[in-house]
Structure 1
Amino acid sequence: MILKSLRGVALLLVVLFFMFPIFWIVVMSLQTNAEILSLPPKLIFPPTLMNYTALITGHLKTSVGTLNIAFMHNLWNSFLLSALSVIVALVLGVPAAYAFARYKFRLGEDMAFTLLSLKFAPPLLVLLPLSLEFQRVGLDNTYIGLIWIYQLITLPLILWIVRGYFEDASPDIEYAYRVDGHSWLKGFLKIAIPLARPGIAAAGLLAFIFAWNNFIFALVLASGSKQPVTLGALAFVTASGIQYGQIAAAVVLSIIPTLAIALYAQRWLVEGLSLGAVKG
């Protein structure tokens, strides 16, 4: 009984430790700048929604006047770029993962490792040549260019997670399906894909979160109306000071989409990662 109570207390302390930054950000988003900067910090205060109102309406009031911001448009950009990047990565990565898992061919492992190495390469290593090439072909500061550059984040992740899941799934069902006279494509679409669905869902969700949180690619290759939410927060560093309340509200609004998707897809995420999807 005592051991069970100690376990519960330890678990509560761990949860509080990891949840406290989120709690503090939410508290800051409901305060004015003066209350946030007050010493000692105020735990009892009249909450205000002015920070959220400024983000939604796009009008930020400062000591030097009203500043127009496009945070909601940045939020939409993040969703658009992340969603389309994941869709493209799934279309390209799932068949490639199946090929790497089911077939052994010359230089196959080298190709797979090369794709994986793109995930771990420093972004600045590839950004300069890609930026120059994008300017040459007209993809600089475009949605298409950003979606393709986001493949450096999403494609290797999806490829290796889904590959491990295909390797864990027995190929016998597919062979039996083909013996009945069905084509390889039908076997892939009707047998392999449904068997790997939890792993594909988990990989897609993780890729979406990584793409959503990306900062450096958009910083170099996007400007103005193409910037995602990770860059939109820079608008709150103004000549009159740093708008901490708006930054906190922006953080809260920016984590809501990924949190909602993660909660909705929690079953597939847990199932996909627990049944061998991270094997590689």
Structure 2
Amino acid sequence: MASKISGGAVLRAAARIIVLLFFLFPIFWVFLMSFQTNQQILRIPPSIFFTPTLENYTALFSGRLQTASGSLDIAFIKNLLNSIILSSCSVLIALILGVPAAYAFARFKFRLGENIAFTLLSFRFAPPLLVLVPLVAYFQMIGLSDTYIGLIWVYQLICLPLILWIVRGYFEDISPDIEHAYRVDGHSWAKTFFKIAIPLARPGIAAAALLSFIFAWNNFVFALILASADKQPVTVGALAFVTSAGIQYGIIAAAIVLSVTPTLLLALYAQRYLVEGLSLGAVKG
């Protein structure tokens, strides 16, 4: 029996290692590519043994890319700051608007409430091109074309529905009796919301905010159409690395490493809240 249990444990451990390697190897390979030149990357057969170089990272931070046809100006650091500004502000506004709305949908039943909630959710699943054409015309009319405010407004189509529906589920899992007991003591709805509801739903709010930040960070189409190079995030700015001299794979790999770092650090910082938030409500009693 012991040998059977031991054999099963070994097989499970081997399966976990294989799955882990399968998912982590592409990330590891991109990390290695960021320290290689194009010649090293494109050699056949590929090899993990090479002389590392910091040329790719130097080019990103200096803003000058040397190609076979000459030097090229790149604005990756500006694009990175744009991504931080757009994603952070979009999530902040979505939290300010979405958390109270999620609480209202969870606690109060009103006519057409479910229809309104589903309509907001449908914006998240609608193809971006469906709204881009009229948005371009409207933004040009009201002066929001190629502005941070305009992009942050459009990013609410990504963040607001996600936060609204995720946080609503967490508020519904919290017993309303706790809030009723606090209300009996003479406290207002607003004070009950800020002192009781939000602290109890904090893990779910953190998880929804993190997921919204990642989705906003990875958005490509909205910024590509509605913003110029000065306002574009890293997802669009990476197009500059496809030059007439060829695709700069090493620069692209270094840009991926740097662009993934903020979301990775944020996920590690909010890991406890993320785990609690995603597991909240998983077990019903």
| TM superposition score category, shorter chain reference | over 0.9
Shift of residue 68, structure 1, vs aligned partner: 1.1
The residue aligned with 2:132 is: 127
Q: Which moved more, 1:37-46 or 1:195-204?
A: 37-46
Shift of residue 240, structure 1, vs aligned partner: 1.1
Distance 2:107 2:253 in 1: 47
Question: Per-residue CA shift, 1:25-65, capped at 9, x if unaligned?
Answer: 01111110011111111221101111011001111111121
The residue aligned with 2:194 is: 189
Distance 1:131 1:266 in 2: 38
The residue aligned with 1:81 is: 86
Write the letter of the residue equivalent to 1:21: P
Write the letter of the residue equivalent to 1:217: F
Within 5 Å, give how 1:43-122 maps onto structure 2: 43-122=48-127
The residue aligned with 1:158 is: 163
Matched, 1:3 2:8: yes
Matched, 1:24 2:24: no
The residue aligned with 1:249 is: 254
Q: Structure 2 length normalisation: TM-score?
A: 0.96
Distance 2:262 2:281 in 1: 27
Distance 1:37 1:60 in 2: 19
**Structure 2: which 5+ residue stretches go unaligned?**
1-5
Matched, 1:200 2:217: no
Instruction: Kindly indicate whether the alpha-carbon contact (under 8 Å) linking 2:229 and 2:237 is maintained by their aligned counterparts in 1.
Output: no
Distance 2:189 2:32 in 1: 56
Write the letter of the residue equivalent to 1:67: L
**Structure 1: which 5+ residue stretches go unaligned?**
none
The residue aligned with 1:209 is: 214
Distance 2:33 2:144 in 1: 39
The residue aligned with 2:185 is: 180
Shift of residue 179, structure 1, vs aligned partner: 1.0
Question: Per-residue CA shift, 1:112-152, capped at 9, x if unaligned?
Answer: 00000001000101111111111110001100000000000
The residue aligned with 1:226 is: 231
Q: Aligned to 1:225, what secondary structure does the other structure show? A: coil
Residue-pair matches, total: 279
Write the letter of the residue equivalent to 2:152: I
Q: Among 156, 165, 168, which residue is 2:173 paired with?
A: 168
Q: Aligned to 1:224, what secondary structure does the other structure show? A: coil
Q: Aligned to 1:41, what secondary structure does the other structure show? A: coil
Write the letter of the residue equivalent to 1:122: P
Shift of residue 232, structure 1, vs aligned partner: 1.1
Distance 1:265 1:215 in 2: 25
Q: Structure 1 length normalisation: TM-score?
A: 0.98
Q: Aligned to 1:61, what secondary structure does the other structure show? A: strand
Distance 2:171 2:16 in 1: 35
Matched, 1:271 2:276: yes
The residue aligned with 2:3 is: none
Shift of residue 239, structure 1, vs aligned partner: 1.3
Q: Aligned to 1:263, what secondary structure does the other structure show? A: helix
Shift of residue 276, structure 1, vs aligned partner: 2.4
Over the matched positions of the two proteins, sequence identity in percent amounts to 72
The residue aligned with 2:154 is: 149
